[in-house]
Copies of this chain bind each other. A is one copy, B any other.
Amino acid sequence: MQKEITIYDLAERLGVSATTVSRALNDNPRINKKTREKVHQLAKELGYRHNTIAANLRKQQTKTIGVILHEVNSYFATSVLAGIEKVTTPENFDILITHSAETAEREKANVKNLINKRVDGIIVSLAMHSHDTAHFTPLFEREMPLVFFDRVLQSADCTKVVIDNFQGGYDATNHLISQGCKRIAHITGDMDLNVYMDRFKGYQKALKDHKIKFNKDLVKVCGLNKAETTQAVTEMLEQKPDAFFIPSDFAAAVCMEILRNKDINIPQDIAVFGFNNDMLSDLITPKLSTIDYPGFLMGEMAAKTLIEQIKLRRKNKNVKDHTIVIPTEIILRESSVRKKAKTTRPHK
């Protein structure tokens, strides 16, 4: 390609200095209105494009927020992203999305990449398999503005945005019990992650509150993908459960398919309860009861807090860490409601 036009090219043609051009382009108020217009005019004519790279290098800031997601392929992920965008766009921050495909290795590479790219701050949800979290220490050392959301680092001293997973697990289980379920199977994800651990605790608490003895044979941990869920559900059926509480709508849908193939009636024979209120929970038959997961709101809160941090940091002020807990909401649909009138609610 022909070389890109620079501010020097503009300056030369207009007989002014590059400084003036730069100021004019940035609408600096102390530039003469006429000069400014001339500059803008010529810039447009010649197809000048601001070189973000050069500006970033000079300004030592990128106005970019790195986002590390564990996966991108879900309604939840896109909701979070939308929530983040809602607050970054008006603030003129760009976002750089990376995903770790649930592996610690990729997560590590992403952290490194984002540091090298000198993002101004990072929003992260942990990968399923990232037990060794040493790769985050460079961020702490740099005092990089950092917000964990959803799947958070329990130990770390940093800002977190989470939903009340305990309450969600409790509500789901409590509801299943109210429908007469007594052998509630719980197929869930890695308990090292706060989200699954807390939901599990909620499950246990609800059982306890209803004097149902906890039975560890009814609990199974797996990757919650199609293959592993299929296996877990199939094995679990030997325990003769009368309900499945699977805190992932996708995995719950997989479970429902298996039950259907075996001509098991949902919810009469076995009730099913998911988690997330994903798009598909409202499209499958019977519709899936679930816990609404306000991804948009989480993204919004995370971005808002992060930008605050970034601004404080620029002023060299101290950031105080805190945890934001977002309430959940139970969504009752056909897959779990045995009694009374159906209480169906549309997907938001």
Contact = CB atoms under 8 A, between A and B. Distances in A.
Nearest to A346: B226
A319 to B, nearest CB: 11
A138 interface: yes
Contacts of A2: 142
B285 A47 contact: no
A343 interface: no
Given A81-B72, A280-B283, A116 B62 contact: no
B52 A116 contact: yes
A115 B49 CA distance: 7
Contact of A53 (B56, B112, B144): B56
A47 B118 contact: no
A155 interface: no
A276 to B, nearest CB: 14
Interface residues of A, number: 43
Contacts of A117: 52-53
A142 B3 CA distance: 9
Contact of A113 (B47, B94, B279, B280): B94
A313 B1 contact: yes
Interface string A1-15: 110100000000000
B1 A142 contact: yes
Contacts of A56: 53
A278 to B, nearest CB: 10
Contacts of A115: 49
A73 B295 CA distance: 13
Given A283-B253, A284-B285, A62 B72 contact: no
Contacts of A4: 142
Contacts of A279: 250, 280
B73 A116 contact: no
B51 A54 contact: no
Contacts of A94: 113
B57 A53 contact: yes
Contact of A97 (B47, B97, B142, B284): B97
A53 B52 CA distance: 9
Given A52-B116, A283-B257, A73 B78 contact: yes
A304 interface: no
A118 B253 contact: no
Contact of A116 (B50, B97, B118, B253): B50
A317 to B, nearest CB: 13
Given A49-B115, A57-B57, A97-B97, 6 more contacts: A4-B142, A50-B116, A51-B57, A52-B118, A53-B62, A280-B280
Top 8 closest pairs, chain A to chain B, by CB: A285-B285, A73-B78, A52-B116, A1-B143, A253-B283, A53-B57, A280-B280, A1-B142
25 contacts: A1-B144, A4-B142, A47-B138, A49-B112, A49-B115, A49-B138, A51-B57, A51-B116, A52-B116, A53-B53, A53-B62, A53-B118, A54-B57, A57-B57, A72-B81, A94-B113, A253-B283, A254-B283, A257-B283, A280-B280, A280-B284, A283-B283, A284-B284, A284-B285, A285-B285
